[in-house]
């Protein structure tokens, strides 16, 4: 197996363990740089890296580690968050309406996906706020994070009480405006301080 980290090319005669590889990757990430993702035999892997390695280690022939500067990484984080919100906002609006009716198992599945997305978004906002390369309007992101936490707390109580109309109201009047504001702010941040990559 071949491991590529920047200019380093490491040939393993025997397959290393997932832990060994993770440790090697962590050692390679210098101050001011971030591990972004890896490319396993041509397939880009952006999350659940350890699980991926544990499941696929025997088949992997070449593993390329992608490391970015803090500025590049921040650019990617903000772009990803904006793209997520652009996809999520229409569904969040529909979801609020669905809770006003009798929620189906599909409604609850989509609600679970929303919670997962919010957790991811919350993690992204924490990264933005703690980075040395944080944007000039990062305090607004911090405020939005705390607003989102407050809405999540209200949502938890509404779920406990099985109040579907309350769940709908919190999604529509609490979360949706936060999502819309964040999408606008992410867009403004990218256009003024970062680079919008042309993906076409």
**What pLDDT band is residue 9 in, cutting at 50, 70 and 90?**
very high
pTM confidence score: 0.80
Residues 65, 88 share a domain: no
- Residue 133 sits at φ, ψ, to 5 deg, of -95, 25
Residues 186, 87 share a domain: yes
Residues 109, 32 share a domain: no
What pLDDT was estimated at residue 151?
96
The total of other beta-carbon atoms located within 10 Å of residue 107's CB is: 18
**What pLDDT band is residue 200 in, cutting at 50, 70 and 90?**
very low
∠ CA 171-173-178, rounded to 5°: 80
Residues 180, 86 share a domain: yes
Does any domain span residue 185?
A: yes
Q: Is 73 helix (H, G, I), strand (E, B) or coil?
A: helix
Q: Is 37 helix (H, G, I), strand (E, B) or coil?
A: strand
- Residue 130 sits at φ, ψ, to 5 deg, of -100, -5
Look up residue 17 and give its two tokens: 């363990």
Number of separate domains in the chain: 2
**What pLDDT band is residue 26 in, cutting at 50, 70 and 90?**
confident
Pairing type for strands 2-5 and 62-69 reads parallel
Lowest mean pLDDT among 27-36, 91-100, 137-146, 168-177: 27-36
Give dist(CA 76, CA 58) in Å, integer: 30
Does any domain span residue 199?
A: no
Look up residue 159 and give its two tokens: 């779920």
Give the mean pLDDT of 6-14. 89
Look up residue 71 and give its two tokens: 């500025």
**Residue whose structure tokens are 């996906």:** 113
**Residue whose structure tokens are 């090319």:** 9
Give dist(CA 197, CA 3) in Å, integer: 28
What pLDDT was estimated at residue 177?
97
Residues 94, 45 share a domain: no
**Measuring CA to CA, which residue among 68, 52, 66, 65 is closest to residue 2?**
65
Q: What pairs with residue 9 in β-bridges? A: 4
pLDDT digits (tens, 9 = 90+) for 159-195: 999 999 999 999 999 999 999 999 999 999 999 998 8
**Measuring CA to CA, which residue among 53, 23, 24 is closest to residue 40?**
53
**What pLDDT band is residue 38 in, cutting at 50, 70 and 90?**
very high
Confidence check: pLDDT of 52 > 60: yes
> Domain span at residue 57?
2-69
What pLDDT was estimated at residue 198?
57
pLDDT digits (tens, 9 = 90+) for 80-106: 999 999 999 999 999 999 999 989 999
Residues 141, 112 share a domain: yes
């Amino acid at each position: 197996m071949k491991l590529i980290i920047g200019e380093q090319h490491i040939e393993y005669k025997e397959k290393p363990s997932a832990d060994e590889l993770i440790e090697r990757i962590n050692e390679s990430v210098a101050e001011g740089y971030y591990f972004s993702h890896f490319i396993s035999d041509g397939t880009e892997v952006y999350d659940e890296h350890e699980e991926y390695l544990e499941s696929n280690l025997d088949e992997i022939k070449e593993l390329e580690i992608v490391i970015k500067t803090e500025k590049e990484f921040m650019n990617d984080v903000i772009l990803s968050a904006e793209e997520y919100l652009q996809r999520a906002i229409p569904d969040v609006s529909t979801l609020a309406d669905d809770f006003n009716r009798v929620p189906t198992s599909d409604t609850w599945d989509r609600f679970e996906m929303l919670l997962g997305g919010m957790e991811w978004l919350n993690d992204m906002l924490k990264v933005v706020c703690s980075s040395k390369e944080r944007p000039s309007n990062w305090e607004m992101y911090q405020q939005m994070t705390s607003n989102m936490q407050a809405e999540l707390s209200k949502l938890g109580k509404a779920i406990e009480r099985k109040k579907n109309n309350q769940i709908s109201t919190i999604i529509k009047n609490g979360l949706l405006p936060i999502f819309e504001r964040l999408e606008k702010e992410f867009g403004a941040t990218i256009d003024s301080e970062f680079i919008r990559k042309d993906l076409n």
